[in-house]
Amino acid sequence: DSGVTQTPKHLITATGQRVTLRCSPRSGDLSVYWYQQSLDQGLQFLIQYYNGEERAKGNILERFSAQQFPDLHSELNLSSLELGDSALYFCASSAHLDRKDSPLHFGNGTRLTVT
């Protein structure tokens, strides 16, 4: 168990809808990362937060947004959903900011299916 908790585990919704994915990092970790895993693109970095502030952006669509709250949990909001957004969404956390020997610990993901 990585200590990173993601809810829900599964989510099925229709095109055009909006969903929110939730992540609770490991106790004490201040950095939270969101990744998308799809069959054609593999694991792709979306966005990083540290102690409530956005720190880095990857291949995140404008229809997607995220935030980190004072209690350090994070939410990823996906709107105007398209079929191609169907994927596994992972949250990861780490203890430090910009320390490359501080490995990322991943949750078990939310499987999003857009119909």
CB of 100 to another protein, least distance (A): 4
* Residue of the chain from 8, 16, 84, 103 that contacts another protein (CB under 8 A): 103
Burial class (CB in 10 A: 0-12, 13-18, 19+), 108: middle
From candidates 11, 33, 66, 85, binder to another protein by CB under 8 A: 33
Q: Is residue 82 part of the contact set for another protein (CB under 8 A)?
A: no
Q: How many CB atoms lie within 10 A of CB 1?
A: 8
Q: Which two tokens stand for residue 26?
A: 């490991």
CB of 108 to another protein, least distance (A): 5
| Nearest CA among 45, 53, 56, 39 for reference residue 90 | 45
β-strand pairing of 10-13 with 110-114:
parallel
Binding flag, residue 71, another protein (CB under 8 A): no
Residues near another protein (CB under 8 A) are 2, 4, 31, 33, 42-45, 48, 55-56, 58, 90, 92, 94, 96-109
